[in-house]
Amino acid sequence: MSAVTATVTATDGQARTGFVTTPRGTFRTPCFMPVGTRAAVRTLSADDLDALGCEIALANTYHLMLRPGAETVAGLGGLHGFTGWGGHFLTDSGGFQVFSLQPKVDDDGATFRSTYDGSLHRLTPETAVQIQQQLGADIQMVLDVCPPLPSPPETVRLAVERTAAWAARARGAHPRDHPTQALFGIVQGGVDPALRTESAQRTVELDFDGYGIGGLSVGESRDEMLPALEAAVAELPADKPRYLMGVGDAVGLVEAIARGVDMFDCVLPTRLARHGTVLASVGRYQLKNAAYATDDGPLDPACGCPVCARYSRAYLRHLMQVNEPTAPRLMTLHNVAWTLALVQQARDAIEAGTLSDLRREVAAVWA
């Protein structure tokens, strides 16, 4: 029996809203997962995540296996005990970070050096499962091969083959009746719809608890991304969660939701916040610009977050200018709240049958 199930409560075209049930509880979908790279969403606390209504967050296997180490996290109660947060955690396999380091890859796994101290490490499909079991996330991802784009067809084909072979090994290493942890497979295939279809079919044959779609939003155009996404989603079962990895821009979120995706993660909202970029109903803007030095309005008049309710653009700009640590925290609170609110708008629109209106509104501002 699957460790997670996706329950659909409303649809609008291919888009769907509902909830995912795990042994820990439920979280609503579509959902956005803030990225807690080192077991924390940078500048935010567990209390902040609760106040924002965040139900699931992502933690990074690559960084946590190196610092403080998976055994340390396990000994302190897994991610939930270690962080003091009771919401859902999903851990990536570390594959994206590893492959960005240009490791030595063979059919068995990948060898890479730590970005912290240069020490040599090895990840295989089996060790990726073992490490994530120690971390204790509610959902873990298989180790996959994420080729850069553009890549020659033979490189993308090899990535599909290795991803399929590694998925089978991960499936064999992870107990199907694990009492607390689900395992998601990953679909690769670049921007080739035919390869995406094949990869999705081969992944579904292994009967995972859910399915990630990786290797998109890595430099390709949206016109290339969306057909590849559609080809993958068309092969994924309706009763399992569908997760588009690494997408968090407004248009990307809404367009992927329209195509039936349930889950998203991205560092974009938090990274932009730390550098002074505000996400708002009028689009993004840079708060450090001199035009905001005496602006007593909120970051976004249409936003209901606590930051917009209390602080002015002028004050937050001042905090940024003097490098006050409070600034990135407040900016991050707003950008994460804004992104979560956008996904809530999408859920509401699906229920009302008006998602096409939201897509037009978002495209008019953000495209």
What architecture (CATH level 2) is domain 5-265? Alpha-Beta Barrel (3.20)
Q: Mean pLDDT throughout 323-343? A: 98
Q: Give the pLDDT score at 292.
A: 98
Summary mean pLDDT of the chain: 96
Sheet holding 120-123: strands in order across? Answer: 104-105, 110-113, 120-123
Percent of the chain with pLDDT over 90: 92
Question: Which bin fits 180, alpha (ψ -120 to 50), beta or left (φ > 0)?
Answer: alpha
> Per residue in 189-214, pLDDT tens?
999 999 999 999 999 999 999 999 99
pLDDT digit string (tens) for 337-365? 999 999 999 999 999 999 999 999 999 99
Output the pLDDT for position 3: 81
- d(CA 137, CA 152) in angstroms, rounded, equals 35
pLDDT for 1: 64
CB crowding 139-152: b at 16 or more within 10 Å, else e: bbbbbbbbbebebe
* Dist. CA 243–CA 184, nearest whole Å: 9
48 given a catalytic annotation: no
- Find the mean pLDDT for residues 291-308: 98
Single out the catalytic residue among 12, 92, 262, 300.
Answer: 92
- Give the per-residue pLDDT at 177: 84
Give the pTM.
0.97
Give the pLDDT confidence score for residue 94 in this predicted structure. 78
The lowest-confidence range among 4-13, 32-41, 109-118, 193-202 is 109-118
Per the annotation, the verdict on 265 as an active-site residue is: yes
pLDDT above 70: residue 37: yes
Closest CA to 261 of 246, 242, 235, 248: 242
Q: How far apart are the first and last CA of the chain?
A: 42
Q: Cβ distance 355 to 349 under 8 Å?
A: yes
The domain spans of the chain are: 5-265, 267-355
Annotated catalytic residue: which of 48, 138, 262, 265?
A: 265
158 has which bridge partners? none
In which band, very low, low, confident or very high, does the pLDDT at 331 lie, cut at 50, 70 and 90? Answer: very high
